[in-house]
Amino acid sequence: MKKLLILSVASLLLTACSAPKPPAISGKTEDVNLVKPKPVSDEIKLLNQIHTQLIRNQQTMLELGTQEPSEPSQTFVIRYPFNQTTATLHQIKPALVAAKSACKVELRARTDGAIPTQGDKAVAKKRATKLRDQLVQYGIQPQAININYAASTDYADNNWTTQGQANNRRVEIDIYNTCTEE
């Protein structure tokens, strides 16, 4: 008797778990996607134009990549005391003599701060602009001078010692005697 009861309950449970009967198909079709696709010919034309432009860009990049970047003819470094922004004539004289015949002069001013601050940024900028003004005052063409400045970055020496910090308070002057047309 118990077996029969268990068997009946199990069959009831199994029939409750079976999938429902699928709906009948009437044979009538319905459109699911009501948007008609555009002809791909316009897209193919656009893709071909993009492909042609990419090939031109790659060729240009290859041509530019094969040109050697010009190296500076001479590099000078002017070091500054803490928070000072003016170089002496004695400090800039060697760079000034070399810059007289240069086609390009690059000035890179740096500070020795541990973290970038507005104060350090202002000091670096002032060092670069004052040095540029001094070079112009002594006859270097202003359009030949490019300046770059940054606070607390691009260290020349470790920044944990007094000597390292002194080496990091600087303006580097790159003198280029030969320049390529850009």
Give the pLDDT band of residue 181 (cuts 50, 70, 90).
low
Average pLDDT value for residue range 71-88? 90
Pairing mode, strands 170-176 and 104-110:
antiparallel
Q: Which residues contact residue 157 at a Cβ distance below 8 angstroms, ignoring those fewer than 6 apart?
A: 163, 164, 165, 167, 168
CA 26 to CA 89: how far, in whole Å?
A: 99
Q: Tokens 């047309």 belong to which residue?
A: 181
Residue 122 structure tokens: 């202002």
Helix (H) or strand (E) holding 5: helix 2-17
In this prediction, residue 153 carries a pLDDT of 82
Task: Answer with the residue of higher pLDDT: 151 or 64.
Answer: 151
Q: Which residues contact residue 130 at a Cβ distance below 8 angstroms, ignoring those fewer than 6 apart?
A: 85, 86, 87
In this prediction, residue 34 carries a pLDDT of 72
Q: What percent of the chain has pLDDT over 70?
A: 91
Give the pLDDT band of residue 77 (cuts 50, 70, 90).
very high
In this prediction, residue 106 carries a pLDDT of 95
Query: In order of start, what are the domains of the chain with their CATH numbers?
Result: 74-176 (3.30.1330.60)
In this prediction, residue 65 carries a pLDDT of 67
- Judged against a pLDDT cut of 80, whether residue 24 lies above it is answered with no
The residue type found at 1 is M
CA 83 to CA 139: how far, in whole Å?
A: 27
- Judged against a pLDDT cut of 80, whether residue 22 lies above it is answered with no
- Judged against a pLDDT cut of 60, whether residue 68 lies above it is answered with no
Per-residue pLDDT of 111-133, as tens digits, reads 988 888 899 999 999 999 999 99
In this prediction, residue 142 carries a pLDDT of 92
Give the pLDDT band of residue 160 (cuts 50, 70, 90).
confident
User: 170 — phi, psi (to 5°)?
Assistant: -155, 165
Average pLDDT value for residue range 13-23? 73
